[in-house]
Amino acid sequence: MTFSYSRSYRGPIQAVLLDWAGTTMDFGCCAPAVVFMEVFQRQGVPITLEEARVPMGAHKRVHIQSIGRLESVRRRWNEKHGRDPGEEDVDKMFAEFIPKQIECLSTYSELIPGTLEVVGELRRRGIKIGSTTGYTTEMMAVNLRDGERQGYKPDSTVCASEVPAGRPFPHMCLQNVINLNVSAVAACVKVDDTVPGVEEGLSAGMWTIGLAVSGNEVGLNLQDWNALPKAVQEAKRQRAYVRMHQCGSHYVVDSIADLIPCIDDIQARIHRGEAP
Ligand SMILES: [Mg+2]
């Protein structure tokens, strides 16, 4: 054959899949970080806020396991217990994590500025709103209730505990494709504040937008972020942009409030025949 032909999706964006903590609520993604610190403290191995944040985005049990595998934590665990943290330790800490996380979620569940406006604009364009999260179903019940109370209710929510594997596997994104009855993964955009969350979207064959300032990468609540001197803000912003770009995000912006220009650009690229 002299020529070959390939097809490309040229239709409308059908769905935007939004992460929860650090994307639509909990500016700085603070709720999980403080509880991870608490459960390690209870085992006599205090961890830093930075260590608590490294695996952010993963299923919360996987997250605990990953903290235990950080070289610095593993060393201190050995000093305290004379061995590496094992599966039983992870199970024990996860069991303690669940009620503590549920207890404090509402303290951090305020919507991130711009969420309602952007979701409203996406809906006006006929785009469905899906969501994925590293939280379990019972934790999400709290966030869903608090989100709805503030006027945010996605059409689909898939939790890490509802699929065979959480991020960076594509399963939660693909379950949203099914739930929302979307015809092509290339018609979807995944938005997330963490590296595994962007990788999840890429693994699913979707467009991705990384959020640099509102989530885990900067890791400060809105008040603390606003209180920073401009030069310090800029240094933290730059570091976060590099991190989110290097994991393969098609776009990186500060927060969900900056989403619409990216959506416009993605739609134009789809019309031209570009694929994620
Ligand atoms: Mg997040």
Q: How many CB atoms neighbour CB 234 within 10 A?
A: 11
Handedness of CA 266, 270, 272, 276 (dihedral sign): positive
The rounded Å distance from CA 208 to ligand 1 centre is 14
Handedness of CA 71, 76, 77, 78 (dihedral sign): positive
Whether 163 maps to a domain, the answer reads yes
Handedness of CA 37, 42, 45, 46 (dihedral sign): positive
pLDDT category at 1 given cuts 50, 70, 90 is: confident
Whether 10 maps to a domain, the answer reads no
Q: What is the pTM of this model?
A: 0.94
Number of domains in the chain: 2
The rounded Å distance from CA 19 to ligand 1 centre is 5
% of the chain residues with pLDDT over 70? 100
- Nearest alpha-carbon partner for 255 in 234, 270, 241, 276: 241
* Mean pLDDT (whole number) for 4-21: 96
Whether 6 maps to a domain, the answer reads no
- Which residue among 56, 78, 107 closes a domain? 107
Cβ density class 164-184: b for 16+ within 10 Å, e for less:
eebbbbbbbbbbbbebbebee
Going along 114-243, which residue ranges are E strands?
128-133, 156-159, 188-192, 207-211
The rounded Å distance from CA 33 to ligand 1 centre is 11
Is position 155 annotated as part of the catalytic site?
no
250 and 209 share a domain?
yes
Q: What is the pLDDT of residues 92-125, one digit of tens each?
A: 999 999 999 999 999 999 999 999 999 999 999 9
Q: What is the CATH number of the domain that holds 50?
A: 1.10.150.240
Instruction: Give dist(CA 179, CA 173) in Å, integer.
Output: 10
Whether 260 maps to a domain, the answer reads yes
**What is the DSSP secondary structure assignment for residue 186, as one 8-state letter?**
G
Is position 84 annotated as part of the catalytic site?
no
Residue 177, pLDDT above cutoff 90: yes
Q: What is the CATH number of the domain that holds 133?
A: 3.40.50.1000
Q: What is the pLDDT of residues 235-260, one digit of tens each?
A: 999 999 999 999 999 999 999 999 99
The rounded Å distance from CA 44 to ligand 1 centre is 28
Among residues 26, 60, 192, 193, the one annotated as catalytic is: 60
The three-point CA angle 15-20-22 to 5° equals 120
